[in-house]
Chain A
Amino acid sequence: MSDYEPKIITFLCNWCSYGAADLAGVSRFQYPPNMRVIRVPCSGRISPKMLLHAFRSGADGIWVSGCHPGDCHYIEGNYYARRKFVLLKSFFEYNGIEPGRLHFSWISSAEGVKFAQIANDVIEEVKKLGHARYFIKKSPEVNLA
């Protein structure tokens, strides 16, 4: 398993967490290249469907990060996100997806260190779990015989 590299789909809100990722870059804080960032205006834009779809498309882990509660650029979008994700997290767990595959965090655009730190933590945790097994869309088996 040592050369196993998980793919982690990462949703970052434009105003805080994406800024933190930029700052981590400016400050050269290192983390492994397992994440694929999708920039969204606000964590409130992310619907549960997208996270389902991410697992379905073969992601080994998902990380969603928005502004700190109270700091949302759009006043309260991150609260809506938080509410949805609390439910979603238990839903995934109920369906057999290990809790360690799904991560949520709140990072402000000044927290480059925190971004790199959590990135490392998320990657490490997902790596330990190995390939995702549930929810993945299988290609239809074609019987040529």
Chain B
Amino acid sequence: MSNTVIGSVMIVGGGIGGIQAALDLANSGYLVYMVEKTASIGGVMSQLDKTFPTNDCSMCIMSPKLVEVGRHMNIKLITLAEIKDVRGEKGNFEVDIFQKARYIDMDKCIACGACTEKCPKKVDDVYNQKLIKRKAIYVPYPQAVPLKYAIDSENCIKLTKGKCGTCEKTCPAKAINYNDKDKNFSINSGSIILSPGFKTYDPSGKLTYSYDNNPDVVTSIEFERLLSASGPNKGHIVRLSDYAEPKKIAWLQCVGSRDINTCDNGHCSSVCCMYAIKQAIIAKEHEPNLECTIFYMDIRTHGKGFENCYNQAKDKYGIKFIRSRVHSVFDQSGNKKGQVINYVDEVTGKCVSDTYDIVVLSVGMEISPDIKLLAQKLGIELTHGSFCKTNSFDPVATTREGIYVCGAFQGPKDIPQSVIEAGAAALCAGSILAEGRNTLTELKEMPVERNISGERPRVGVFICHCGINISSVIDVKDVGDYAKTLPYVEYVADNLYSCSQDTQDNITKVIQEKSLNRIIVAACSPRTHEPLFQETLLNASLNKYMFEMVNIRNHGSWVHKDYPEKATQKAKDLVRMAVEKVVLFEPLEEAKLEIDQNALVIGGGISGMTAAKALADQGYKVNLIEREAILGGNANNLYITAKGEVIKKELDKLINEVKSSKNINVFTGAELIKVEGFVGNFSTTILQGDLEKNVKHGIAIIATGAYEYKPEEYLYGKYPRVFTGIELDKKFISNDPFLKDVKTAVFIQCVGSREPQRPYCSRICCTHTMISALHLKELNPDMNIFVLYRDIRTYGEKEYLYKEAREKGVIFIRFSSDNKPKITVNEYGLEIEVIDHILQKPVKIKADILSLASAIVPYRDEKLAQFFKVPLNDEGFFAEAHVKLAPSDFAVDGVFLCGLSHYPKPIDESVAQSKAAASSATRLLARKTINTIGTVAQVNPVLCSSCGICVSICPYNAPSFKTSGHFADKAEINPVLCKGCGACVASCRSGALTLKGFSESQLMAMISSTCL
């Protein structure tokens, strides 16, 4: 066994978790192999229409990541493949892979789609949940990566019966290879990340829901496709049995979750309440008169922004929420359409029968049998619910060293939590391979740029046939002949495929031979192909910004097939406009910025310490600031985690590691008093006691935490036996003997949470109450314990604690927010009166202790927000860059967040997010320098009137007033911060601003030449 460490990571599963982990690793010096079971990456997220709670379009936010993975030099995609076995140990694994034949030469396929058009065999479209058909030769979805076709060997007529061969005849690129074979091979990699995702619970065969034979009973993922504009019915919701527009839709929650009766899924799937609310809202937006009803057990909207979304669903959209676990769905009798649902109305206690046009089964998450088998093969332990077993303080490590996990395989979870874990897993997988960093990755050497200043514009125009995609409609030769007549055009050529490697090489050659200094490619979309051609320019020693793309395919031949002449005219116009623009181009420079290799972490709780240690372990120097005199934060007063780990023990270990690390400099009892600079070059002044100290750092991580709400209700502070959850934990830690004598304990949930002044759910209190109640039962099994709650939100596998508490005799009584428990004190002690939700009668409980599940309150640190120019949300938590895909980053470069300052969360999630923040930071630090974009705004100080409009409207703080020098008081743009949106340019009343690459003169020239 050699002890060399291999600088590559194998990622199993190409969903959003795997994608995020791959990008983190590939961008910090590791080679990544991504093994994906299907023909393209994207996973379940690619199937979603919108994402909660913001209802962002799922594909829109995801596709840039897909493209980045597809184009990344250091990510090797292995599609249609599965891993079979793993040998070796951390640092050097040997992974056996089985890859199915694709029957398409990926180097030749240009994804023109001619094959699919002609393929005679229709098969179920898996991407669309088999609601419609696709062909046997296919790409799973239009934005798929890799965008290469594949043949479904089980259905292809040629491969099954030896006949047909139509696709081979049709393919203009000769990419079809019927002789392709399945392959077995092995790859060595240093560490492994498992992100295989989940499968949705399959309700077929369960007769109670009438799912098998009734097309109007659909699963939530099927309904998601129905909602999608790219789905089977183009986003128009219909009842599938007769294509009538539905008037009433019902969602049934917890199908295949929290169910040990019809299946063995005792866990809560965490996401179904929110996706049902999202689907109901979107359905309502499609059709405002639609009646949407959600049948639920507990509404679990425990994430950031979720409760608000739930409230809006009720109040703004009028979605009905009925608390009832519906047992069966019946068909209407006779020929009548519609599904009958019977339920008990809670208020009247009567059985109600109602009919719905569509019933959506909110199916839960489970782990597929082949993943369970794989886990067994790899020697990885699973939990009771068959998810991957992890530890709260190391939430992405499997039980086998060197193998990490993220996403739904680790436990049911939503997209942001998967993305967080992906970052954490990437950090862990990379950290153990530190000596292998940059050993396997490729770095491209670029030729020196040719100086073209003073040269007259020499424009080269390349027009693409795209096989026949363009030339079947547009007369490419005619466009080319026209281009030759345009001013400054020196060279015109047409290519069959402009994007193919040989054409790229040819363009490089022509640029050099003809000394071209501006290039136009008339082909497809710059959104997909501009980077490719820019690279070609770089290879030809030309500044990459001397390039313009004309889209004559997506905006031309594909959409104007009935107007060949006019489409050709349009192509000519567009080429002319582009020529007018490029002659005004100037080479643009990308500012290069050194990144200071030191880090600053603010907050010395579990989150801050974990992040600091993660960075220190990789060799970065960290300054860790803590406002209190000791490290540890809230964790100092917490007893055990949901998984039973003793917090104090783990915390002490972490504090020792942090204190003894030579790379971490701890400042306790300290605060920040000044922050200057930006990404790569921050300068911060720390005040500790009377001492001021200035530190320089390239990145900052905010982990300032939150605190427990001190209640004003329920006699808190007025009677000694009423305390908060943390105060009860303190008694557990000190093993207070008085607890054993308690006869009756009462917990009240949602104290200070889900209230008008604090509308969010504090996420952890339900679980914390379960832990405490179970601990009390352990101390004294005869103790009477009552939990008064609004909705129990023990999401994920924490549901098992709820189940255990009920089994051990804890009594749960639900109250509503308008009828809260009343507490009085008499000679016997506490008396709590609450309306029992089943009896609908008040009950009185004489209690010895009352524990209040108190809210988690953010510090609303406006000073810190101001220092780093990062936003706070309405509730006072820091607002991340993107709710879904950048949960640990700020929109401001170089600043990251984690822990409670982001949103309430338990320790395992805080640890994961701290590592994710450290991973994002590492990605930046590892680059040592960063290049900014060239298309940024610029000020002409002579024209600037110092009005300050640009300063006030820029969301990135790029413009500021010069404080000294020749043009003091005039605006200037920091090119490092500018993202190139041009909002300031369009708003400048003095015409002093310009946006390079989209300057006024360039755009005006295009406009002038449009209508010639």
Contact = CB atoms under 8 A, between A and B. Distances in A.
B566 A32 contact: yes
A45 B936 CA distance: 12
Interface in B548-575: 551, 553-556, 558-563, 566-567, 569-570, 573-574
A5 B573 CA distance: 14
B982 A42 contact: yes
Interface string A10-33: 000010101101111111111111
A49 B577 CA distance: 18
Interface in B925-978: 935, 953, 955
Contacts of A27: 142, 230
A30 B234 CA distance: 15
Interface residues of B, number: 56
Contacts of B234: 113
A32 B60 contact: no
Contact of B60 (A38, A39, A109): A109
Given A18-B527, A33-B556, A45 B54 contact: no
A7 interface: yes
B1007 A7 contact: no
Contact of B555 (A32, A37, A77, A108): A37
A50 B554 contact: no
A70 B998 contact: no
A111 interface: yes
Contacts of A31: 559-560
Contact of B1011 (A32, A33, A45, A58): A58
A7 B229 CA distance: 29
B1004 interface: yes
Given A40-B982, A41-B935, A33 B229 contact: no
B981 A41 contact: yes
Contacts of B554: 21-22, 24-26
A80 B995 CA distance: 16
A71 interface: yes
B559 A45 contact: no
Interface string A89-113: 0000000000000000000111111
A28 B560 CA distance: 9
B153 to A, nearest CB: 26
B666 interface: no
Contacts of B525: 18, 22, 25
Q: Of residues B562, B1000, B1004, B1006, which shows the largest number of chain A Cβ atoms within 10 Å of its Cβ?
A: B1006
B401 interface: no
Interface in B973-991: 979-983, 985-987
A105 to B, nearest CB: 15
A74 interface: yes
A45 B570 contact: no
A21 B555 contact: yes
B235 interface: yes
Scoring B554, B558, B566, B1007 by chain A CB atoms within 10 A of each residue's CB, the highest score goes to B1007
A30 B561 contact: yes
A143 to B, nearest CB: 25
Contacts of A86: none
B1008 interface: yes
B553 A76 contact: no
A112 B54 CA distance: 21
A19 B559 contact: no
B120 interface: no
B1008 A53 contact: yes
B1003 A38 contact: yes
A25 B558 contact: yes
Contacts of B551: 21-22, 37
B59 interface: yes
B1007 to A, nearest CB: 5
A116 B527 contact: no
Contacts of A16: 60
Nearest to B56: A71
A13 to B, nearest CB: 9
A114 B228 CA distance: 12
B493 to A, nearest CB: 23
B1007 A110 contact: no
Interface residues of A, number: 57
B1011 A7 contact: yes
Contacts of B562: 30
A53 B1001 CA distance: 12
A133 interface: no
Contacts, number: 165
B374 interface: no
A5 B566 contact: yes
B57 interface: yes
A24 B983 contact: no
Contacts of A45: 981-983, 985-986, 995, 998
B891 interface: yes
B127 to A, nearest CB: 14
A16 B56 CA distance: 12
Contacts of B59: 109-110
A66 B601 CA distance: 38
Contacts of B995: 41, 45
Given A40-B1003, A41-B935, A59 B983 contact: no
Contact of A40 (B142, B559, B998): B998
Contacts of A37: 551, 555, 574
B979 A74 contact: yes
B983 A22 contact: no
Contacts of B953: 76, 80
A131 to B, nearest CB: 11
B559 A28 contact: yes
B995 to A, nearest CB: 6
Contacts of A19: 60, 527
Contact of A44 (B229, B569, B983, B1006): B983
A122 B1007 CA distance: 19
A30 B570 CA distance: 15
A126 interface: no
Interface string B628-642: 000000000000000
Contacts of B368: none
B57 A109 contact: yes
A41 to B, nearest CB: 6
A42 B372 CA distance: 47
17 contacts: A5-B566, A25-B525, A25-B554, A26-B558, A30-B560, A33-B559, A36-B577, A38-B1003, A41-B982, A41-B998, A45-B981, A49-B1000, A50-B1003, A58-B1010, A71-B60, A108-B57, A110-B57
Given A28-B558, A33-B560, A80-B983, 16 more contacts: A9-B1010, A14-B527, A22-B525, A22-B551, A22-B555, A33-B570, A36-B574, A40-B982, A41-B995, A41-B998, A45-B981, A46-B986, A76-B955, A77-B982, A81-B986, A110-B228
Interface of A: 5, 7, 9, 14, 16, 18-19, 21-33, 35-42, 44-47, 49-50, 53-54, 57-59, 70-71, 73-77, 80-81, 84, 108-114, 116
The 8 closest A-B pairs by CB, nearest first: A25-B554, A45-B982, A74-B981, A58-B1011, A44-B983, A25-B558, A47-B986, A75-B955
Interface of B: 54, 56-57, 59-60, 63, 142, 228-230, 234-235, 525-528, 551, 553-556, 558-563, 566-567, 569-570, 573-574, 577, 891, 935, 953, 955, 979-983, 985-987, 995, 998, 1000, 1003-1004, 1006-1008, 1010-1011
